[in-house]
Amino acid sequence: MTATLTQSGPAQEATTSPRRPRRRSSGDRVGRPGVIWAAPAAIFFGLFALVPLVLVAVLSFTSWSGLGSPQWAGMANWTKLFHDPVMLKSLWLSVLLTLLGVVIQTPLSVLLGVWAAGYQKNRAVLSAIYFVPLLLSGTAISVLWRALLDPNFGLPSQLTWLFGNGNLFGHQATAIGVLVWVAAWQYTPLHTLIYQGAARSVPHVLYQAASIDGAGTIRQFWHITLPQLRNAMITSVILMVVGGLTTFDTVLILTQGGPGTDTTISAYYMYKQAFQGFDFGTGAAIGLLLVVVATIISLIVVRVSRYDEMRSVNEGI
């Protein structure tokens, strides 16, 4: 992700080349940020992201159970992974869960965020209540929902017309449904917050001009609010994608990857291989594969959304 952002720097300057000289002259006067300004972040990123990543890459070519020193295993872990049906399924499941998360959480949080940005009565109280899930830890939320959805003593035992025999964790579709539902319950408030902030910063003059032109609330939403939220939306979607691909705690507590391996997503499979099966080589390979897939997906999002040439939505106002 970060690599893409820094790479996109020159591209951005190229597209806005006509304005380049002016910017540079003003920059010189203020004192251009030197390399040293980037040092704290770069050192931090290098130490806690790049170095571990390289180590994981090395580890993925070894066989190591945590005892003694890792033995060189060549491509063994990788060939095993590519012939492992669970691995391929887990990648697909990760992507599916992420997609469902984006599709369900985005409309919800846009609507809630725009509503919360208004100045209605009750708004502050209701939003405050609504943000409560944001204050709970992911583990607490998962434990809570696990208890609520217990087939014999939770909601399903009372609402049999809706849940049938309550075997929510016994079928792939319903188990995925539960995961998506809990993730939405947990994360929609965060994204609502992002949209609320963005909606608040939409200039009022736009709405005033639109209502003078006779545009109603819905038209204003479609033609002013939504386009103005574009940058916020990209930010939010990227957060959802990254968060979705690395989801772990909800799966660990709610489904444990079951039924069978039907909700074993890649991050959970990595954990099982490395920390339950003590096969750190394979675990590292899965981790690296997840990094590669996540990078590709992030690149696609960046490309499609034109994040790399993002401009102010307030241009011309």
Partner 1 sequence: MQGRTWVLRSAAIAGAAALGLSIAACGSSSSSSSSAQATSGTFTVLVYGDSNNKVEQAIVDQFNKTSTVKAKLETIPGADYQQKLQTIISTKQAPDVFFNWGGGSIQQYAKAGLLLPLNDMVKANPKLKSAFLPSVYNTAVIDGNDYGIPMRGTQPVLLFNNQNVLKQAGIAGAPKTWNDLLNDVKVLKAKGITPIALGGGDQWPTQMWFEYLYDRVAGPGLFEKALSGDSSVWNSAASQKALSMLKQLIDAGAFGSNFDSVKATDNGSAKLLTTGKAAFELMGSWDYSTVQGIDANFAKNDLGYSAFPSIPGGAGNAGDLVGNTNNFYSVLKTTKYKDAISKFLTLMYSDTFVKDQLSIGNLPTTTNTPNFLGQAASPAYDKFQYDLVKAAPSFQLSWDQAYPPSASNAIHTAVAQFFDGQIDAKGFISAMQSLPSAN
Range in contact with partner 1 (rule: CB under 8 A) among 59-67, 105-113, 213-221, 222-230: 59-67
Q: Is residue 66 at the binding interface for partner 1, with CB under 8 A as the rule?
A: yes
Tokens 């209605």 — which residue? 120
Q: Is residue 142 at the binding interface for partner 1, with CB under 8 A as the rule?
A: no
Q: With beta carbons less than 8 A apart as the criterion, state whether 267 and 247 touch.
A: yes
Question: What is the smallest separation between the CB atom of 244 and partner 1, expressed in angstroms?
Answer: 23
Tokens 């251009």 — which residue? 32
Range in contact with partner 1 (rule: CB under 8 A) among 66-74, 124-132, 226-234, 293-301: 66-74
Question: What is the smallest separation between the CB atom of 147 and partner 1, expressed in angstroms?
Answer: 7
Measured CA distances, 297 to 74, 98, 99, 238, 301 (Å): 28, 11, 11, 9, 6
Give the Cα separation of 129 and 50 in Å (integer): 39
Q: Which of 65, 28, 71 is nearest to 276 (CA)?
A: 65
How many residues interact with partner 1 (rule CB under 8 A)? Answer: 34
Range in contact with partner 1 (rule: CB under 8 A) among 29-37, 96-104, 107-115, 222-230: 29-37
Which x/- pattern over 156-195 shows residues binding partner 1 (rule: CB under 8 A)?
---------xxxxxx-------------------------
Q: Which of 261, 270, 289, 307 binds partner 1 (CB under 8 A)?
A: 261
Q: With beta carbons less than 8 A apart as the criterion, state whether 228 and 202 touch.
A: yes
Q: Is residue 307 at the binding interface for partner 1, with CB under 8 A as the rule?
A: no
Q: With beta carbons less than 8 A apart as the criterion, state whether 307 and 239 touch.
A: no
Q: Which of 59, 87, 149, 270 binds partner 1 (CB under 8 A)?
A: 149
Q: Is residue 15 at the binding interface for partner 1, with CB under 8 A as the rule?
A: no
Q: Is residue 276 at the binding interface for partner 1, with CB under 8 A as the rule?
A: yes
Q: Which of 5, 147, 292, 296 binds partner 1 (CB under 8 A)?
A: 147
| Residues between 67 and 126 with contacts to partner 1, criterion CB under 8 A | 67-68
For the four alpha carbons of 26, 30, 31 and 32, in that order, the dihedral sign comes to: negative
- Based on CB atoms, which residue is closest to partner 1, 5 or 148? 148
Give the Cα separation of 198 and 203 in Å (integer): 10
Q: With beta carbons less than 8 A apart as the criterion, state whether 273 and 279 touch.
A: yes
Q: Is residue 279 at the binding interface for partner 1, with CB under 8 A as the rule?
A: yes
Strand, coil or helix: 212: helix
Q: With beta carbons less than 8 A apart as the criterion, state whether 259 and 57 touch.
A: no
Peptide bond preceding 33: is omega within 30 degrees of 0, i.e. cis? no
Q: Which of 237, 272, 231, 273 is nearest to 255 (CA)?
A: 272
Question: What is the smallest separation between the CB atom of 67 and partner 1, expressed in angstroms?
Answer: 5
| Residues between 238 and 257 with contacts to partner 1, criterion CB under 8 A | 255-256
Q: Is residue 141 at the binding interface for partner 1, with CB under 8 A as the rule?
A: no
Residues that bind partner 1 (CB under 8 A): 31, 34, 36-37, 65-68, 146-147, 149-153, 165-170, 255-256, 258-261, 272-273, 275-279
